[in-house]
Structure 1
Amino acid sequence: MKAVDEVVVETGHGITGDRYENARHRQVTVQSADGLAAAAVDLGLEVKPAGTRRNITIDHGQVPTTPGARVRIGEVELEVVRVAAPCRILDDEIAPGAAAALRRRAGTVFRTVRGGTVRIGDEVSL
């Protein structure tokens, strides 16, 4: 994972250069800093955004999980596909128990309804 200040998101394709670019449904993953903080309490140590392998971390609020719900991040509009299940690799990458601590907090998988550029600091409409 590599942190960047902005990403280009293409309608129907996802984030340019991402390994899931052009995937049918798993185009963008979004997680919440609030969810990571709650997981950190359960785990007993900090859970850094990059450690979860999600594309975008919003700094406040809970990411919607109801299929069909929409989110706007800057000029990009996303539609919920499903909850993102935490991967067992997280137990090796972060700490034993990380996958369990992130269950139901690991973010949401979206498809791209309207593309554009997402930048750090963009407004998020949940």
Structure 2
Amino acid sequence: MPTISFLHIAKATRLPMRAVDAVEVEAGKGILGDRYHGTKHRHVTLQSADALAEAPELYGSDVPAHLTRRNITISDGVVPRDPGTRIRIGDVLLEVVRVAAPCKLLDDTIGRGAQEALRRRGGSVFRVLEGGHVAIGDEVDLTPATDSIVTSGG
């Protein structure tokens, strides 16, 4: 089963991502301390190290996880892309909102061509249906969850 390899947050848009060992994830809000906390649907971004490992073939060098601006990088596996798909990380239940398209900022921070190299490898944007504590090493169940839950603010 995949595990969390990296956790990153940024206090505001365009600020550098900061590596952390653990985060609190709030239902209907996102990661406490992250720039997207409290937004309507963009609560958490998640990518796979497997997909990042493909980027050097197109980009020409490694792409560090923290420079992709994603919150969670998992060790392996395919991050679901279909809206409505649910996955679990411990007590946290996430639901795919959309694909996380790489932004132009990647060309500015990583180098020209990074945005294109990460296209279709950028993971997905999730909303948080059930919150909890998430830490490096936690297992990530990519099997689509069929939980019957009641959401608030979602």
Measured against aligned partners, the alpha-carbon deviations of 1:10-38 in whole angstroms (never above 9, x if no partner) come to 00000001111011100000011011111
- Aligned pair partner of 1:64 in 80, 84, 99: 80
Aligned residue number for residue 43 of structure 2: 27
Cα distance between partner residues in 2 of 1:101 and 1:17: 29
Gaps of 5+ in 2: 1-16, 143-154
Looking at CA atoms only, which structure, 1 or 2, has the larger radius of gyration?
2
Determine the C-alpha separation between the residues in 2 that align with 1:114 and 1:40: 35
State, as a whole percentage, how many aligned pairs show the same letter.
62
Report the TM-score, using the length of structure 1 for normalisation. Answer: 0.97
Q: Which amino acid aligns with 1:69?
A: T
One-letter amino acid of the counterpart of residue 39, structure 2:
A
User: Which portions of structure 1, spanning 4 or more consecutive aligned residues, are displaced by more than 6 angstroms?
Assistant: none
Q: 2:134: which partner in 1?
A: 118
Residue 125 of structure 1: how far off its partner (Å): 0.5
1:102 aligned to which of 118, 134, 147: 118
- The SS at the match of 1:112 is strand
Cα distance in 1 for partners of 2:79, 2:72 equals 11
**1:9 partner letter:** V
Matches within 5 A, 1:62-101: 62-101=78-117
CA distance in 2, matches of 1:67, 1:88: 23
CA contact (8 A) 1:13 1:22 kept: yes
Residue deviations 1:46-72 (CA, integer Å, cap 9, x gap): 011000111000011010000000111
The match for 1:40 among 20, 35, 56 is 56
Unaligned runs of 5+ in 1: none
Alpha-carbon distance in structure 1 between the residues aligned to 2:49 and 2:85 = 20
RMSD of equivalent CA atoms: 0.7
SS in 1 for 2:127: strand
Partner of 1:14: 30
Distance in 1 between residues matched to 2:87 and 2:111, nearest whole Å: 31
Counterpart contact for 1:82–1:109, Cα < 8 Å: yes
Normalising by structure 2, what TM-score? 0.80
1:49 is matched with: 65
The more displaced of 35-44 and 9-18 is: 35-44
Instruction: State the 1:39 CA deviation.
Output: 1.1
